[in-house]
Amino acid sequence: MINYGHFIGGKHVPGASGRFADVWQPMDGTLRGKVALASKAELTAAVANAKAAQPGWAATNPQRRARVLMKFLDLVAKHNDELADILAREHGKTIPDAKGDIQRGVEVVEVALGAPHMLKGEYTDGAGPGIDIYSMRQPLGVVAGITPFNFPAMIPMWKLAPAIACGNAFILKPSERDPGVPMRLGELMIEAGLPPGILNVVNGDKESVDAIIDDPDIQAIGFVGSTPIGEYIYGRGCSNGKRVQAFGGAKNHMIIMPDADMDQAVDALIGAGYGAAGERCMAISVAVPVGQSTADELVKRLVPRVESLKVGPSTDASADFGPLVTKAHLEKVKGYVDLGVREGATLAVDGRGFTMQGYENGFYMGGCLFDHVTTGMRIYKEEIFGPVLSVVRAPDYAAALKMTNDHEYGNGTAIFTRDGNVARDFASKVNVGMVGVNVPIPVPLAYYTFGGWKRSGFGDLNQHGPDAFRFYTKTKTVTGRWPSSIGKGSEFTIPVMG
């Protein structure tokens, strides 16, 4: 039995609140450990620790800060198998998928090594008579990240790496469902040479989230999770004067045009719809074939592929996907399938009865495929976050585009077509933050930014890429003139330099 406390000031600290949550091993349904849930007082103590350490880190030049991250990357690579095993056991992902989770986080750390360049300001010589103007980017101070269960390595690294590279101290509040990897990342950062207090991992629930939102010393919050919680954090955080980026739910559509390569489209839907048991904010959960013949052919090909999906324990590298994260979430996803049947959708493949021999207590579910889903159904409107794909038939391209634009979520979308004009029109007109053309999961590379529109994202700046450096810094502009060039007398009009 593993007992997770917190990681504060470069060392493990046991929980003091007396409250704990269970950490399960989804592949066999056993209790893996307990995680302490921080009180407001514990969170406040972690912030005080971070606040005391941050000025010294901010005074460290960006190149030396980047060297710590470089050493951290070496350590992550050295411990990659260990991290992937922890992740798979606590989340349920297969080992290869867990390694992909880690790798996409590593790529953002790699970009954060460019902090010496990204933090450069601007300079204008001779902006006026004897006057120079320059700007500089400075850290905010203490910032925080609240991260979800579905990417326990990637999203913490997306948040902490650029924040630390910019000279901030960071409070990480990971999901209480799978805290093992975030805690290990904290240890590896200290081993890499990060000063104690610059990265603190505080486990908790709503009490610690509210403490983060309300703490006057926390200047910014980055959040990824559900839309209702994202809206709550964004609204309350902004009202407290904080900078907030909050990313919420998704219902990602994939448009399949009549001229699409059907083999490619089916392969894409299977991987994007069912990988990680559908527990991805960028999963394709809605397939939109254009035209009846396209829809009939798509469903005909999808059914045997979904039926043949290999579900297995997290340690089975040959499995297509593993169990869901908790029994409660498994029952929630099954409940959505029950709902879809009641709403009148055609359940072409039913994975609700799946059990894993030898792992009967695991949180498993087979792939489910719905056909004839309509836009008025809840299974279309709401994020299911499981291995469930809905086929919504569109009569033409205009209807498919409108369907995507009308949905309340706008995280990711894709179109499969051989027609460049259609692809270009779609990319231009679709009201979604990330678009794929013959790419099912259009997660941008780390030197671009990641973020959804509409009720999938709240805030002006996205994750990673240049936006991360803007989010975690504030710009100061200096206008200077030296005594030798100062004229006599006072000036009572606004200075004019041109």
What residues act catalytically?
A: 281
CA–CA separation, 243 and 153 (whole Å): 24
Helix, strand, or coil (residue 472):
coil
Which uninterrupted H or E stretch holds 10? none
Exposed, middle or buried by CB within 10 Å (0-12, 13-18, 19+), for 485? Answer: exposed
- CB 442 within 8 Å of CB 464: no
- CB 146 within 8 Å of CB 212: yes
How far CA 249 is from CA of 144, 225, 230, 471, in Å, comes to 20, 7, 9, 21
CA–CA separation, 180 and 203 (whole Å): 10
DSSP state of 166: T
- CB 88 within 8 Å of CB 314: yes
CA–CA separation, 354 and 342 (whole Å): 20
Which uninterrupted H or E stretch holds 242? none
Instruction: Report the DSSP beta bridge partners of residue 243.
Output: 220
- CB 177 within 8 Å of CB 151: no
- CB 287 within 8 Å of CB 64: no
Which uninterrupted H or E stretch holds 172? strand 169-173
Q: What share of the chain is helix, strand, coil (3-state, %, to 5)?
A: 40, 25, 35
What is the Cα Rg of the chain in Å?
25
Pairing of strands 457-458, 453-454: unpaired
